[in-house]
Amino acid sequence: MTLRLPEPSRLGEVPWLQPYPDALLDDVADGAPGPEAVIEAREATSLAFVTALQLLPPRQRAVLILRDVLGYRASEVAAMLDSSIESVTSALKRARRTLADDLRPHRERSAPPAPRSPEERWLVDRFVRAFGTHDIDTIIDLLTTDVQIKMPPLPFEYQGAEAARRFLAALSPAGGREVRFTHTRANGQPAFATYVRDPAAGIWRAVGVIVLTLAGDQISEIVRFDTSVLASFGLPRVMPELPANTGSPPGP
């Protein structure tokens, strides 16, 4: 399906962003020493963190991954990068400071519901039902006022409720076409693949994967990926004809 998109609010800096299926992630709660560690681990897999990480200069990104993610000592990282311990320490401080600044808006929002909790399912189900019935007013009611919508690999980004309304009007299948959803998870966040019915061919065609970022009982970010990511989730590009379903099927 070809989209005729409205003018974006801005052009994003990370068009190569890709989702990472939760099925390939370790359970962040396993072995975690406490609630703060669980929260930090979830943040480190989020799309916001991955985006901020890729915006770092290459050397700072390498140092941060080696030190904070992989746990190497400063002396070991210095040897790997043919650098000094002082240089590694300085690069790590700058990287942490930049990440903290970039992630501050996300950290200042209300905490999301626990993964797979009734609260999360309630919010996602409401969004899916509204999306499936092309109920843009209900979708807007579910969004934060500063919501962001992104659609990699295209660099277009839409910020705020009014820009979101224009984007969703363009994204909604023309003519009220029937929509189906396959629920999944990506980067520790709720996600779903979207399929539209092709009655002439007797199939359902995939149009993309949507990943939601939740803040309290609202949605603060929507990232729509194209069909190129389906294979990593084990999802097909087409499905055989099934009874129409614009509601929310059971999640995983």
Q: State pLDDT tens for residues 26-80.
A: 544 444 444 344 445 567 778 888 888 888 899 999 998 898 878 899 999 999 9
**C-alpha torsion 134→137→140→142, nearest 10:** -90
Co-location of 100 and 122 in the same domain: no
Q: Is the pTM of this model over 0.85?
A: no
Q: Is 129 in the same domain as 199?
A: yes
DSSP assigned state of 114: P
Burial 156-170, CB ≥16 within 10 A → b, else e: bbbeeeebbbbbbee
Q: What is the pLDDT of residue 231?
A: 94
Q: Is the residue at 14 inside a domain? A: no
Return the SS3 of 216.
coil
- The boundaries of the domain holding residue 183 are 112-240
Cα distance between residue 243 and residue 235, in whole Å: 19
Pair 206, 154 in one domain: yes
Q: Are residues 55 and 168 in the same domain?
A: no
Residues 216 and 129 in one domain: yes
CA pair distance 49, 133, nearest whole angstrom: 32
Which residue, 197, 213, 216, is CA-closest to 205?
A: 197
What's the total number of domains in the chain?
A: 2
Asked whether residue 180 is assigned to any structural domain, the reply reads yes
CA distance linking residue 142 with residue 217, whole number of Å: 8
Domain C-terminal end among 76, 108, 140: 108
If one counts every other C-beta atom within 10 angstroms of the C-beta of residue 148, the result is 22
Q: Which residue has the higher pLDDT, 237 or 17?
A: 237
Write the pLDDT tens digit of every residue in 154-179: 888 999 999 999 988 887 655 567 88
Query: What mean pLDDT comes out for the span 85-110?
Result: 88
Residue pair 172/192 in contact by the 8 Å Cβ criterion: no
Specify the range with the lowest mean pLDDT, choosing from 49-58, 201-210, 228-237, 241-250.
241-250
pLDDT at 183: 95
- Among the three residues 66, 86, 108, which one is the final residue of a domain in this structure? 108
- CB-based contact 40:32 (threshold 8 Å): no
Alpha-carbon dihedral angle through residues 30, 31, 33, 39, given to the nearest 10 degrees: -30
The gap from C-alpha 121 to its chain's centroid, in whole angstroms, comes to 16
DSSP string, 38-84: HHHHHHHHSHHHHHHHHTS-HHHHHHHIIIIIS---HHHHHHHTT--
